[in-house]
């Protein structure tokens, strides 16, 4: 695989669950993920946001000034 990044991590117990700390360079966006087992591999993938509010919460604030826009009355249109 091109660009393969790997790092050895420790497994630990969290109550009755086995857990692993995800190093910063492997952090996933969002607040939920899907995990599945393929043979001897565990695959963890981030879940796409489910609502517009969740998508908007992931965006960085816009840090620019917007120009004033003259709000004119639209011309009539015949249908």
Over the stretch 20-73, which tens digit does the pLDDT of each residue have? Answer: 999 999 999 888 899 999 999 999 998 877 788 878 888 899 889 989 998 899
pTM of the predicted model as reported, rounded to 2 decimal places: 0.52
Residue 54 confidence (pLDDT): 79
In the block, tokens 């630990």 appear at 12
Pairing of strands 33-38, 17-20: unpaired
Q: What is the mean pLDDT of residues 3-12?
A: 88
Residue 55 confidence (pLDDT): 80
In sequence order, what are the residues at sequence separation of 6 or more whose Cβ sits closer than 8 angstroms to the Cβ of residue 10? Answer: 20, 21
């Amino acid at each position: 695989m091109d660009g393969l990044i790997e790092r050895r991590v420790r497994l630990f117990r969290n109550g009755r669950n086995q857990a692993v700390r995800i190093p910063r360079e492997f952090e996933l966006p969002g607040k939920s993920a899907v995990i599945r087992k393929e043979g001897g591999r565990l695959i963890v993938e981030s879940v796409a946001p489910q609502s517009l509010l969740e998508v908007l919460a992931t965006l960085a604030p816009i840090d620019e000034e917007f120009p004033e826009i003259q709000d004119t009355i639209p011309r009539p249109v015949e249908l």
